[in-house]
Amino acid sequence: MSFTVAIIGRPNVGKSTLFNRLVGRKLALVDDQPGVTRDRRRHAGKLYDLRFDVIDTAGLEDAAANSLEERMRAQTETAIREADLVLFMVDSRAGLMPDDRTFAEVVRRTGKPVVLVANKAESRGAQSGALEAWELGLGEPIPFSAEHGEGLVDLRHAIVEAI
Ligand code: GDP
Ligand code: MG
C-alpha cells in the first residue's frame, strides 16, 4: 500500500527532526528558532516495514497570506489535502499552547485520520505534557522522541491502525 503522511504542528515541536528520521537523511533544516522550514517538503520515507511519502511543513512561512492564523491554516490545509494521514505533533515539554489548539481544530475539520504524537517526551518531566495532549480531542497521544528515536514502534502501530 502506498500512502502519504503529513507532519503537522506549530513551529519548533520537532516536525523536521521526525521528517529527517523517516526519510533517513537530513533534508530538512532543524533549528531552535521557530519557523526555519521555508516550504513544504515531500520525500519517500519509511518506518520499519512501512513505506510512505512524508510531507514536512513550516506552518508559518507562507508569505502570501496575511495573519498568522491564515498562514498556518493555508500551509496546513494544503499539506493535509495531499495526505492520507495526518501526524499531528505537540511538544510535551512545553505543554499545550494556543497554536496547538488552532492547528488541531484545522486538522479535525478535515476529517482525515490523525495520529497524535507527543514529542520531546524523553525526559521524565514531559509526562504531564504528553497527557495534556488528550485535551486536543485527537485520540491517544503517543509519547515520543524524534531526536532520540523513542516511540517508533508505537508510532508504527498507530499508523497501521489509522490508515
Ligand atoms: P519544527 O519547527 O517543528 O520543524 O522543529 P525542529 O525539528 O526544527 O526542532 C525544533 C527543536 O526541537 C530543535 O532544537 C530540535 O533539536 C528539538 N527537538 C526535536 N525533537 C526533539 C526531541 O525528541 N526531544 C528534544 N528534547 N528536542 C527535540
Ligand atoms: Mg521544521
- ipTM value greater than 0.90: yes
Q: How far is CA 59 from the centre of its chain?
A: 10
For residue 120, how far is its CA from the centre of ligand 1 (angstroms)?
7
Which residues carry a binding-site annotation for GTP? 9-16, 56-60, 119-122
The average pLDDT across 28-44 equals: 69
What kind and span of H or E run contains 89?
strand 85-91
Q: What is the pLDDT of residue 75?
A: 74
Q: Whose CA is nearest to atom 2 of ligand 1?
A: 12
What value does the mean pLDDT take over residues 27-47? 74
Q: What domains does the chain contain, in order, with CATH numbers?
A: 4-162 (3.40.50.300)
When pLDDT is averaged across residues 27-39 and rounded to a whole number, the result is 64
Which atom from ligand 1 is nearest to the alpha carbon of 150? Answer: 23
Give per-residue pLDDT as tens, 72-123. 667 778 899 999 999 999 999 999 999 899 889 989 989 999 999 999 999 7
- How many C-beta neighbours within 10 Å does residue 132 have? 16
Diameter of the chain measured on Cα atoms: 41
Residue whose C-alpha cell is 503522511: 5
pLDDT tens, 43-81? 999 999 999 999 998 754 444 556 666 766 677 788 999
Instruction: Determine the pLDDT at residue 38.
Output: 53
What's the mean pLDDT in 136-155?
A: 96
Question: Smallest Cα–Cα separation from 8: which of 109, 88, 115?
Answer: 88
- Whether 90 and 98 have beta carbons less than 8 Å apart is answered as no
